[in-house]
Amino acid sequence: MREKTSGDLAPIIDILKNIRLLSELAEGYNNSTEFYNAMDNLTFQASIELLISTGISSKRVSNEVKEKHPEIPWGAMKNFVEIREKDSTILDRTIIFDLIKDKLPNITLFLETIILEELEHKKFNVENYKRYIGYALNAYMDFEDASE
C-alpha cells in the first residue's frame, strides 16, 4: 500500500529552511570554539534548537519518500532530536559545528530535487507549496516550470 506523500511537503520545506538558517548562523565562524562562545552561547543554542526541529521534521517524512531518496541521511537527521546543548562536550561541539558547516549544506540540493520532482508528478500541490513557503525559499528556487 502506498503512503500518501502529499504530507511530506511541509516537513521537507522545514528541513530545508532549518539547514539554510543553520548555515547563516555558522557563517563567519572558523571553528567550533568561536561558534560555541558567540553571543554567550546564544548562536550555539539556537543551532541546537534548529537541529532538534530538523530531527522532528525528518520523522514526519513518509517512508516512501525516504526509501526513494536514500542519498539523504534520514536516520541521522531523525537522531537530532537527541541533541541537547547542556550535554555537549568539546568533541560534540566540534561534530555539531562540522555538521552545520560542512555536512548539512550538501543535502539541500537533494531536498530541492525532491520538492521539484513531487511538484512535477503532482504529488505536492503547487498552491500549498506557495502558501506554505511564502517568500522564504522562493528567492532560492524557481518552481514555475513545475506548476504547468
> Structure pTM?
0.82
Q: Could you identify the residue written with the cell 554567550?
A: 40
Per-residue confidence (pLDDT) for residue 62, from 0 to 100: 94
Q: For 83-95, what is each residue's pLDDT tens digit?
A: 875 566 666 889 9
Q: How many whole angstroms separate alpha carbon 25 and alpha carbon 4?
A: 34
CB 9 within 8 A of CB 115: yes
Q: For 111-122, what is each residue's pLDDT tens digit?
A: 999 988 888 888
